Structures are given as structure tokens and as C-alpha cells.
Amino acid sequence: MKVGVVGASGYVGGETLRLLVNHPEVEITTVTSRQHVGEYLHRVQPSLKGFTDLTFSELDYDKLTDNCDVVFTAVPHGTATEIVKALYDRGIKIIDLSADYRLHNQEAYDKWYGWTHPHPDYLEKSVFGVPELHREEIKKAQLVSCPGCMAVTSTLALAPLIKNDLIDTDHIIVDSKIGSSGAGSGSGTAHAMRAGVIRPYKPAKHRHTGEIEQELSEIAGSKIKVSMSPHAVDVVRGILCTNHTFLKKDMEQKELWKIYREAYGDEKFIRLIRDKKGLYKFPDPKFLVGSNFCDIGFDFDEDNNRLIALSASDNLMKGAAGSAIQNMNVMCGFDEMSGLRYTPLTPV
């Protein structure tokens, strides 16, 4: 499969390339960057040294059409709309890592992003890229939009609870902690500004809330409201979502285990974590770095009828590039784990 990557100078683009250079079914033919045309990839993404001699090129739709079966778009939010449309109109399969085609209606972009989507008729052509929820649609899709990192991590923990009508859907609270790489490769990630940090940002109306509400509402068949507050923390990679929900009925631990196993028992990239011994009883992003897993666990607060669904992932993997490769595998009929058979890195 001949593959191109549009916008590969940032963290997500670099992580996508890291996975693609070792993918057994893939040949990377074209990689674009506006500011690095003519430079070797490894000068911008040093981890690629010795794996490829490709150089960055300009964005050329004819070249992409002639040389690519699949194109990953890893450009900043708000700049993918025209690129994706142009590629779609040329019949190329697209896996978009921006937010520009994640939401299904134009009004949602006005609400969560503050701008009007210029191509609302293309939103319905996009499939939300979570194979655990939309595998059959992804198989047939030309355009897949990868989810936001906090959105996919929390949604996977909450989806079985919604599907089985276990929780009060008027009171769902998502508390997310995310590492500095989630902010991109800009100056805000400098060590002096991140060390020792537990910083709330966008504690109300964070844009990933729209994705979570969209996906859970589809499962429920009715409108679901979610309250989400993210925090920047002093790690480079990783997300922990503490999802506070309130049960409609009393449940035993074994009942909830059964529900999660029925939902995810056959899924290669979801691990259920709840240990009675040791320090690591619940999902911990430290033990997911470099992998495409999403770990899910839970605990009960009987006094308040509260079910705490915990989920963790590497924001650059399951939260971005890993999901993108997993989606490509599904779209193209490859083994879903192809190019993603990495155990987490420990220690980090």
C-alpha cells in the first residue's frame, strides 16, 4: 500500500511516520511540510534516522493522487478542511488526524470550535475513527476522522455503561489529565512552563466534549450531556480519564466485569485493569507509553452510588497516530495489529 503523510513535522505526524516505516504492508511515498521542503525527514524527526531517506515535499495534489493509495493528514485544526475535500474528490482514501471532520453537523463546529465549517455536506461522509465502536463503517469508508485523545480514552470507558443503560445520563463528569505532548510542538510545551504542573485548562466547554457527547448520544439513541475538565500534568505522554458516573441500580463487581468483557473481550487494543494487589491496581498511563492500548478499570463508591470508570492511553498512540494506523488496517483489510505490535515502554 502506497502511503502519503500531509503535515509531518509535528508530534503526531512524526509518530505516524514512526509507525509507518515499520509497517509490513506499507511503502511511504510522499511526506509534505510547508516549512521544511527539501529537508530530510530525520532532520525534523530525528528518530527516523536510518529508516528512510525521504525528504519533505510541497503539497501537490497531483503527486499525491498518482503516488498514494492512502493519505494521512496531520495538519493543525482548521487547516485540513480544504485539503481533505480536495483529496476526497480525487478518490483517495483519507485518514484525518485533525478535528476538522470529527463532528457530524455544522452547528457542532459553531458551538465547540467557534467557526463555521465550509463543507458541511462532507461531514456525513466521514466515519469517526474508533474501530471498537465503528469497525464495519470504517471498512467501507473513504474518509475516516481520528478522534481526539481525551475523547477516545473517555468514550471507550463510558460506552458500555451507556449501551447497557446503567448510569444517570444527566450527570457524567470526565476529569482528564494529559501530558505535554497533547499540546503539540509549540513553545507552550517548554520544560520551564511544564515542570511541576497540574494546570487546569479549558475547565468548561473543552472541544473534545462535543465528540464524547456525539458518540454516547448515538449509542443511547438520545441526547447525552457530558461535563469535562482537562488538566495539564508533568508528564510528556499519557492520559488518565477519571469518569464519574452515577448508577441507576445497585451492581456487583462481577456484573460490571461481565459487561466490559462482553463489550471488549475480543478487542486487541483494550485491556481491562483492576488488580487487588500491588501498587498498580487501576489504569496508569505510565505503563502505556509507546503502545496503542487503552486500559480500562473501575471502582465503586457505594455511599454515593457512584461508579468511577477509569481509562488511560498514550495520547500520541491510541489518542492519535496509533488509532490512525489501526484505522488504516481496518480500511485496507490488513491485520488490525499490523505495525502496532508494541508493548508499552517501561520504565519511562
Residues in the annotated binding site for NADP(+): 9-12, 315
Q: Which cell numbers hold the place of 191?
A: 520544560
CA of 296: how far to CAs of 66, 141, 173, in Å? 42, 28, 16
Catalytic residue among 149, 241, 294, 332: 149
**Contact (CB, 8 A) for 44 and 17:** no
Tell me how far apart the alpha carbons of residues 324 and 70 are, in angstroms, rounded to a whole number: 11
Would you state the cell numbers that stand for residue 2, as one nine-digit string? 502506497
CB 299: neighbour CB atoms within 10 A?
Answer: 14
Under DSSP, the state recorded for 227 is E
Question: In sequence order, what DSSP letters do the residues of 29-43 get, joined into one string?
Answer: EEEE-SS-TTSBHHH
Integer Cα distance of 82 and 119 in angstroms: 8
Residue 26's region, left for phi above 0, alpha for psi from -120 to 50, else beta, is beta
Between CA 109 and CA 346 the distance in angstroms is: 39
Point out the annotated binding site. Answer: 9-12, 315
Known active-site residue 149: yes
State which amino acid sits at residue 231: H
The span from the CA of 133 to the CA of 156, in Å, is 8
Q: Which helix (H) or strand (E) holds 294?
A: strand 294-301
Helix residue ranges, H only, 98-185? 106-112, 120-123, 131-140, 149-163
Alpha carbon separation from 72 to 75, 276, 321 (Å, rounded)? 9, 42, 10
Work out the number of other CB atoms within 10 angstroms of the CB of residue 191.
9
Annotated active-site positions, please? 149
